[in-house]
């Protein structure tokens, strides 16, 4: 009796050891030897050698059929795990697999619940109601409600976002110019001698004087080598000798800053213009009649915002800064018509509430250098400077446009509005005595401009 009990205990220990060993074997099988099959579906298993024999541990879990010499078809029958052994020709030990049969997924591919539609009620074929947090969630809800008869779908939902957008645009332009010019003019003009060394444009004509028997030199610039330069003139009227040296170095810096801002409702377009209009004469057809058309210029801003969510904005914006440019204009009927220097951008961007984006930028660097000289004489070292005219020009320009949209709300009824620029000047009414004796003209402080 004791002996039988000891034998039973030994068998139990062996069974436990075998179970643990089998569990470790399953746990440590490589992925290539684990076959996952959905219930009621097939999986094709291909071998590298010819198949002689197959065996499955639990036929109620998986069924195995040999298709050809190297392919086995495994069919999932019930949820569970079983073993599969495949013997190959001249392979010795069989190849071991673990077959795992699981629940098949929904072939329709159901998506998890959309958290953005938790407060909305979507009925396919009927419509959508409730509240959604963004336009993207509203688009998804409309797509779900349109299943079936889309004509019957009713949209009774609301989008829980503010719809007013304030867009601030900063337009900064910095231009820098450098100009250097040098010219020399020498004249000797007497009754019997005429000598001149003039740069291009200084000498406009030579005419013979019949009465005096000499030559007259004509010049629209007064024989100045560079008209708007500094002139160094040395002459001897007794001997009719004149020498003029023109020297000019010019440096310029200009900075233009425009900060237009505008408020618009989501999905709507708004624009404004701070500037003016200038007239352009236009000839009518083949007649001599002239009409006048007006062209706008100044600071213009056009924008169309779309609030996507509580912190996301899509913005179509077109800022423009233009100013009169008489250097590029023309003459029409004795009237000087100016051109326009325009900086314009038209783009669509998407960014967060209060974020800034550089929507355009330009860096230009233009260099121009020219030398006018008398051949051969102008190449002589040092002395050749008196037989040539030189010019050097560099123009550098940088332009940046930055946009910052912000979702805003109107002030509540009865709320105190912030002071308007210049409000402190509303009561400025000086009397005659105060204006005569005490007014000092210091209007730079408290002048009403926004700092």
Number of separate domains in the chain: 4
Instruction: Let me know whether 142 and 285 are in one domain.
Output: no
Amino acid 107: pLDDT = 64
Over pLDDT 70: what percentage of the chain?
86
Full-model pTM: 0.57
Find, among 364, 368, 357, 366, the residue nearest to 398 by Cα.
364
pLDDT digits (tens, 9 = 90+) for 334-368: 778 888 888 889 999 999 888 998 988 888 899 99
Same domain assignment for residues 261 and 360: yes
Please tell me the predicted confidence (pLDDT) of residue 356: 92
- Are residue 193 and residue 244 in the same domain, yes or no? yes
Residue 19 pLDDT grade (very low, low, confident, very high; cuts 50, 70, 90): very low
- On whether residue 2 sits in a domain, the answer given is no
Decide which of 288 and 256 is more confident.
256
Specify if 8 maps to a domain: no
Q: Which of 222, 248, 274 is the last residue of a domain?
A: 248
- 289 and 399 both lie in a single domain: yes
Residues 261 and 403 occupy one common structural domain = yes
440 lies in a domain? no
Is the domain of 134 the same as that of 60? Answer: no
Q: State residue 109's pLDDT score.
A: 56
Question: Tell me: the pLDDT tens digits for 224-259?
Answer: 888 888 888 888 888 888 888 889 898 998 888 888
Do 94 and 49 share a domain, yes or no? Answer: yes
Average pLDDT over residues 281-290: 76
pLDDT, tens digit (0-9, with 9 covering 90-100), for 52-103: 888 898 989 999 988 888 888 899 998 889 998 888 887 778 888 988 888 7
Question: What is the structure's pLDDT at 2?
Answer: 39
The predicted-structure confidence for 360-410, as pLDDT tens digits, reads as follows: 888 889 999 988 888 888 888 888 888 888 889 999 989 899 999 999 888
What distances in angstroms separate CA 143 from CA 83, 110, 157, 160, 240, one per listed residue? 46, 15, 13, 19, 96
Average pLDDT over residues 114-132: 73
For 1, 15, 293, the CA distances from 6, given in Å and listed in that order, are 9, 14, 118
Mark whether 300 and 331 lie in a shared domain: yes
Q: Are residues 285 and 372 in the same domain?
A: yes
Can you give the pLDDT at residue 269? 92
Q: Are both 370 and 402 inside the same structural domain?
A: yes
Q: Can you give the pLDDT at residue 347?
A: 93
CATH (domain of 62):
2.60.40.1080
Residue 424 lies in a domain: no
What is the dihedral sign for C-alpha 139, 140, 142, 143? positive
% helix, strand, coil for the chain, step of 5: 15, 55, 35
143 within a domain of the structure (yes/no): yes
Question: What distance in Å separates the CA atoms of residue 35 and residue 142, rounded to the nearest whole number?
Answer: 41
Instruction: Compute CA distances 449 → 216, 258, 421, 443, 446, whole Å.
Output: 61, 14, 6, 11, 8
The DSSP code sequence of 307-357 is EEETTEEEEEEEEEEEEEEEEEEEEETTEEEEEEEEEE--EEEEEETT--E
Query: Is residue 430 situated within a structural domain?
Result: no
The verdict on residue 6 lying in a domain is no
| Residue 26 predicted with pLDDT over 50 | no
Residues 260, 371 within the same domain: yes
Please tell me whether residues 239 and 286 are part of one structural domain.
no
Output the pLDDT for position 20: 44
Please state, in angstroms and rounded to a whole number, the distance separating the CA atoms of residues 176 and 179: 10
Residue span of the structural domain in which 74 resides: 33-102
Q: Is residue 66 part of a domain?
A: yes
pLDDT confidence of residue 15: 44
């Amino acid at each position: 009796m004791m002996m039988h009990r000891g034998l039973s205990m030994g068998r139990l220990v062996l069974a436990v050891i075998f179970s643990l060993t089998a569990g470790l074997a399953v746990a440590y099988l490589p992925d290539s030897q684990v076959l996952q099959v959905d219930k009621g579906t097939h999986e094709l298993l291909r071998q590298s050698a010819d198949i002689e024999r197959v065996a499955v541990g639990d036929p109620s879990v998986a069924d195995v059929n040999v298709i050809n010499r190297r392919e086995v078809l495994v069919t999932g029958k019930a949820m569970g795990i079983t073993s599969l052994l495949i013997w190959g020709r001249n392979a010795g030990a069989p190849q071991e697999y673990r077959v795992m049969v699981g629940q098949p997924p929904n072939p329709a591919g159901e998506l998890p619940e959309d958290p953005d539609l938790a407060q909305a009620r979507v009925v396919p074929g009927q419509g959508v109601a409730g509240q959604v947090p963004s336009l993207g969630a509203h688009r998804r809800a409309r797509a779900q409600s349109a299943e079936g008869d889309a004509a019957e779908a009713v949209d009774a939902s609301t989008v829980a976002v503010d719809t007013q957008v304030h867009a601030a645009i900063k337009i900064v332009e910095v231009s820098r110019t450098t100009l250097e010019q040098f010219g020399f003019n020498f004249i000797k003009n007497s009754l019997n001698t005429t000598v001149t060394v003039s740069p291009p444009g200084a000498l406009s004509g030579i005419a013979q004087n019949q009465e005096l028997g000499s030559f007259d030199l004509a010049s629209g610039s007064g024989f100045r080598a560079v008209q708007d330069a500094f002139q160094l003139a040395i002459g001897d009227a007794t001997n009719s000798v004149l020498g003029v040296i023109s020297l000019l170095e010019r440096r310029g810096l200009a900075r233009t800053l425009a900060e237009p801002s505008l408020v618009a409702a989501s999905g709507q377009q708004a624009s404004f213009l701070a500037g003016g209009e200038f007239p352009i004469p236009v000839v009518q057809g083949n007649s001599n009649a002239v009409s006048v058309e007006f062209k706008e210029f100044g600071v213009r801003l056009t924008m169309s915002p779309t609030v996507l969510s509580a912190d996301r904005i899509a913005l179509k914006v077109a800022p423009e800064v233009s100013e009169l440019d008489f250097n590029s204009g023309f003459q029409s009927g004795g009237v000087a018509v100016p051109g326009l220097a325009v900086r314009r951008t038209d783009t669509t961007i998407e960014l967060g509430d209060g974020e800034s984006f550089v929507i355009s930028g330009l860096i230009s660097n233009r260099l121009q250098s020219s030398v006018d000289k008398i051949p051969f004489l102008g190449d002589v070292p040092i002395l050749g400077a008196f037989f040539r005219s030189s010019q050097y020009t560099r123009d550098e320009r940088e332009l940046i446009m930055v946009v910052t949209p912000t979702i805003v709300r109107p002030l509540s009824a009865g709320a105190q509005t912030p002071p308007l620029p210049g409000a402190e000047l509303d009561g400025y009414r000086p009397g005659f005595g105060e204006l005569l004796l005490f007014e000092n003209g210091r209007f730079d402080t408290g002048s009403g401009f926004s700092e």
